[in-house]
Amino acid sequence: MRSIWRTWDPELLRDVSAVAAGAAVSGASFGAISTGAGLAWWLPVVMSLLVFAGGSQFMAVGVITAGGSPAAAVLAGLLLNVRHLPFGLAVGDVLGKGLLQRLVGSHLLIDESTAFALAQSDPRKAKAAYWSCGIVVFISWNVAVVAGALIGQNIGDPNAFGLDAAFPAALLALLLPVLKDKTTRHAALLGAAIALAATPFLPAGVPVLFALGGLLITARQKVQA
Amino acid sequence: MTLTAVLVLAAGTYAFRLAGPLLRDRLELSDRIKLLMSTSATVLLFALVATATLTKGQGFAGLALPIGVLVGGVAAWRKAPFVVVVVLAAVTTAALRFVGLS
């Protein structure tokens, strides 16, 4: 573990902080929306600590608010989180070798930590980027959820501040170095087109999984080579 | 939302997360498969960018959001610092909404 802290450089921390700030605003809004929907203040807090996947948490609370059953809420949330399995297959090596590192590191597997790890070419830097992003976002997200749950409805709509643009822009910036590779770029573009085309017809979370169809491009190119 | 529902969602999500790193240990993977898995993570994240930028629920997200992300993306492409990219995207979208563009 010690080597991770040594490789934390100021630039990485600054980038991670930008993502964490966005997560904090989003977390505060999640806490406020949950208590506004009638949940006890501690329920969104426990949920954020144990689930730690913002999209699925908003989705689950949204299903309940719309009158859905707890089972429907869980199912909708889980559908959104299936993508973590391929994420873990891709960046599983950066967690570290020990069992404890595997168990704790897996809980920090989120879109942002995956993107931070993918953005690094050197494995040591990828490990530092993954862990620092995971830890800093975990802390800021959960502290903000507690604050939002206690303060309640007066937070306002975070999208008025353009928060919904910050998340995809951050991911896009992290992906740009990997997208320089032509095959990867073509697969990503085809995958995004499939996901967008599927969005009107499928439940949330599934269109993104369909994007894996974009990988067919890489298979074809390898056969040709 | 009940505590049971929260615990089931948490357990299922953690299982998805843990499965990747553990499977990676158990399986003897060729370099080609490793590359394919890394590409698949990029493809999934990029699809997430596309859907989070262009869609809201099952419809179109409106113009303010994609314009903001586009401005951030161009800044990133021109090698602007990461923080600038994120702030520029948010500020652009917020400003467009402020002047009444959805």
Banded pLDDT at A2 (limits 50, 70, 90)? low
B77 with B100, same domain?
A: yes
A63 with A141, same domain?
A: yes
Residues of chain B found within 8 Å of residue A74, distances taken between Cβ atoms: 5, 8-9, 12
B9 with B46, same domain?
A: yes
B42 with B87, same domain?
A: no
Q: Structural domain of residue A223, as residue ranges?
A: 181-225
B36 with B71, same domain?
A: no
Out of A176, A193, A208, pick the residue that ends a domain.
Answer: A176
Q: Does B47 touch chain A (CB under 8 A)?
A: yes
Model confidence, pTM: 0.89
A200 with A121, same domain?
A: no
Residue range A154-165, pLDDT digits in tens = 666 778 888 899
Among A157-171, B4-18, B44-58, B83-97, the minimum mean pLDDT is found in A157-171
DSSP notation for chain A = -HHHHHT--HHHHHHHHHHHHHHHHHHHHHHHHHHHTT--THHHHHHHHHT--HHHHHHHHHHHHTT--HHHHHHHHHHHHTTHHHHHHHHGGGG-SSHHHHHHHHHT--HHHHHHHHT-SSHHHHHHHHHHHHHHHHHHHHHHHHHHHHH-GGG--GGGGTHHHHHHHHHHHHHHHHHTSHHHHHHHHHHHHHHHHHTTTS-TTHHHHHGGGGGHHHHHHHHH-
Give the nearest chain A residue to B96 (CA atoms): A162
**Looking at residue A37, what is its pLDDT?**
86
A198 with A156, same domain?
A: no
**Looking at residue B59, what is its pLDDT?**
92
Give the nearest chain B residue to A209 (CA atoms): B44
The structural domain count of chain B equals 2
A147 with A204, same domain?
A: no
A157 with A188, same domain?
A: no
ipTM surpassing 0.95, yes or no?
no
Q: Which of A84, A174, A189 sits opposite B16 (nearest CB)?
A: A84
B67 with B102, same domain?
A: yes
Residue range A119-178, pLDDT digits in tens = 998 999 999 999 999 999 999 999 999 999 998 766 667 788 888 999 999 999 999 999
A172 with A186, same domain?
A: no
A131 with A198, same domain?
A: no
**Looking at residue B93, what is its pLDDT?**
96
* Min Cα–Cα distance to chain B from A109, Å: 6
A114 with A22, same domain?
A: yes
B47 with B69, same domain?
A: no
Q: Is the pLDDT of residue A224 over 60?
A: no
Residue range A45-88, pLDDT digits in tens = 999 999 999 999 999 999 998 899 999 999 999 999 999 999 99
A191 with A221, same domain?
A: yes
Q: Structural domain of residue B88, as residue ranges?
A: 62-102
Residues of chain B found within 8 Å of residue A177, distances taken between Cβ atoms: none
A144 with A187, same domain?
A: no
Which residues numbered 69-88 in B keep a CB inside 8 Å of some CB on A? 69, 72-73, 76-77, 82-83, 85-88
The structural domain count of chain A equals 2
